Copies of this chain bind each other. A is one copy, B any other.
Amino acid sequence: MFYLIGLGLGDAKDITVKGLEIIRKCDKVLLEGYTSILTIGKDALEQFYGRPLVIADRELCESGIDDILEESKEKEIALLVVGDPLGATTHTDMLLRAKQLGVKSQIVHNASIMNAVSCCGLQLYNFGETVSIPYWTNTWKPDSFFEKILNNYSRNLHTLCLLDIKVKEPTEESLTKKVRQYMDPKFMSVKEASAQLVEIIENNPASGISKTCSAVGLCRVGASDQRIVVKSLEEMQHFDLGPPLHSLVIPAPELHPLEADYLSQFK
């Protein structure tokens, strides 16, 4: 049996009782460590679960998944994923592969940023399409996410912006070499995302969205030190929210009175 278990967003105790019971009976427990991170480390999780964890990086989850699934034919194996296990495409792919190989699988859902973002007071049913904001380089500055934000904004919908994460990414120089070298992990901040958005807005003065528009910065959602801040995008590009993970919301231009009241706490 192959289990995909969501860990939720905050700390070790955000796992469900069902998820914890499965972990404690499994033969092997893997911790997926490249699509997101918890605010606590592997050691704290191992101590709480009473089980050793094997870190599953991108290579293991993509090219190594067939071996794990083959092993799941005889054994009970769980892969732990921060948030909800089906937030990232790669996990849906695993379940399909399991089916093809004749391996039974079970999903244990949990909170993800896609629903917990409601902690800022903006209503989930007023959100449009979610976008991802990638890290820019000097030569590569994709901005297709901006069109989606504009589309939502023009229909008076909020946009949740998921911010880029680089964990165990090979360095450019090592791509052509036999031995891969890896960059230090990095997590895009609300400050960095806002600066990229302001640059796009300045280059598109007639877009219909201004850098004085409101933005909601969310930090460590679900953890005890969660922070939410509301500022203009222009101000947000200079504001440090603290350690990762961060998310950014561009609210609709017209808010429901309850949404406006709730947001005003964070100004």
Contacts and interface: CB of A to CB of B under 8 A. Distances in A.
Interface string A109-135: 111101110110101111111111000
Nearest to A124: B114
A9 interface: yes
Interface stretch (A17-25, A51-59, A168-176, A210-218): A17-25
A47 interface: no
A151 interface: yes
A84 B118 contact: yes
Interface stretch (A37-45, A196-204, A233-241, A258-266): A258-266
A87 B17 contact: no
A107 interface: yes
A86 interface: yes
A109 B111 contact: yes
Contacts of A89: 123, 256, 258
Residue of A11, A12, A129, A132 contacting most chain B CB atoms (<10 Å)? A129
B261 A109 contact: no
Nearest to A112: B115
Given A13-B16, A84-B111, A119-B86, A262 B129 contact: no
